[in-house]
Amino acid sequence: MSAERRTAAIVGCGDIAHHHVTGYQLEGVDIVAFVDPLPVARDQFVAEYGTGKGYASLQEMFAKVTPDLVSVCAWHLLHAPLTIEAAAEGVQGITCEKPMAVGMADADRMVEACEASGTKLAISHQRRFTLGWEKGRELIAAGVLGEVVMVIAKFGHGLLNCGTHAIDGVRFVLGDPATEWVMGAVERRTDRFERDTPIEDSCLGLVHFAGGTQLFLQCDLDMKGASFQFFVRGTEGMMEVSETACRTIGAGNALWTDHDLGLPADEINVIGGKANARQTRELLQWIDGGAGHRCAATTARDTVEIMMALEESARRYQVVHMPLAEKGYPLELMIDEGQLPVEVEGRYDIRGYLNREDVDEAQYAELRATGMAHHPIMRTLWERQQQT
């Protein structure tokens, strides 16, 4: 890293933004701007962190200051436009939140815009920096399981929301193999949204990677044991791997063997802390001529492609071979085409409680003063509102 301290802007001052701040602080990056159309949100960050200025939009910020780095921390549908706008100003690096984009057209536009401006773009699948997943990747690369035949992943809270972490995590643990084909099934009988994006009620998918390894995934069908732990079966052994633990059986061990990660599970940061700090460090190294970034947009776009292919497979009742031809959001296309009629009326958003526009700010401030984090505060205020 060069000796000069770099500057950064946070765009979208909500829950995840706090973890980007921590990542920058731990790596000695100066935050010079907080961008959010909601004055109360940007003012909170300026006051709490005692640094930077608040701006209502990227345009307003770029009129005054061009930071070296930009964190895109707004909701999914804004990832592409905000990333492209920041790249057009020639910033050195962008860390954009997951999911990278909703549809391949946006994902590819983000990659192209950053290639054109020379901006290094990383997508915040920060769990790639957890010690459990790193150990799993190392052991599989060393051939401890023989050839990996099947991975099973079970998670909830939406394919775009948590599925992106799970699929991206499996790809990381497997050494980022190319995808050959995907087959998927989707159910949407309720008018379900997540952060303003229509999503499925549940889905499942089979992903076939180059070399023959398959991933079976299920989302929101059964929450028992739903997590970011993967079960991996190889020709010589099996592995259970999560962000904070890794154990194997077979390959000379008749019993499950826990692998030492060098830190107890409760000290491994999954969001924020060292995970975001290491993600920031790798971006700075990449900007300074390093080999690349494990969360590079070119890698993350392949995770988007798997999710979109799963839905496209359900749309077409076919196995979908890569590259995926459909550039839009297949789930939305299915809804528009009448393939997924809503049977239980009433739009709802599983993260709608994060919308701060109608929040009682006095109550927010009271809870914040107790040390409560943003997400639980918003959930608590929403629950109180439901009771009245």
Binding site for ligand NAD (CB under 6 A): 11-17, 35-38, 41, 73-76, 78, 97-98, 124, 126, 161, 195, 271, 354, 356
- Contact between 194 and 161 (Cβ < 8 Å): yes
Distance of closest approach, residue 129 Cβ to ligand NAD, in angstroms: 11
What would the two tokens of residue 371 be?
Answer: 């040390």
Distance of closest approach, residue 338 Cβ to ligand NAD, in angstroms: 28
Nearer to ligand NAD, 149 or 271 (CB): 271
Instruction: Give which of 152, 149, 300, 317 is closest to 234, Cα–Cα.
Output: 149
Distance of closest approach, residue 354 Cβ to ligand NAD, in angstroms: 4
Contacts of residue 363, Cβ cutoff 8 Å, sequence gap at least 6? 381, 384
Nearer to ligand NAD, 83 or 248 (CB): 83
Distance of closest approach, residue 100 Cβ to ligand NAD, in angstroms: 10
**Which residue is nearest to ligand NAD, using beta carbons?**
14
Nearer to ligand NAD, 126 or 218 (CB): 126
Contacts of residue 17, Cβ cutoff 8 Å, sequence gap at least 6? 10, 34, 45, 71, 73
Distance of closest approach, residue 197 Cβ to ligand NAD, in angstroms: 9
- Contact between 247 and 238 (Cβ < 8 Å): no
Residue with token string 């798997």: 306
Nearer to ligand NAD, 21 or 104 (CB): 21
Distance of closest approach, residue 56 Cβ to ligand NAD, in angstroms: 8
Distance of closest approach, residue 68 Cβ to ligand NAD, in angstroms: 19
Contacts of residue 155, Cβ cutoff 8 Å, sequence gap at least 6? 162, 163, 165, 166, 217, 218, 219, 226, 227, 228
What is the amino acid identity at position 345?
A: E
Nearer to ligand NAD, 39 or 143 (CB): 39
Nearer to ligand NAD, 271 or 319 (CB): 271
Sign of CA dihedral 133, 134, 138, 141: positive
Nearer to ligand NAD, 219 or 354 (CB): 354
The Cα 123–Cα 165 span in angstroms is 11
- Contact between 172 and 126 (Cβ < 8 Å): no
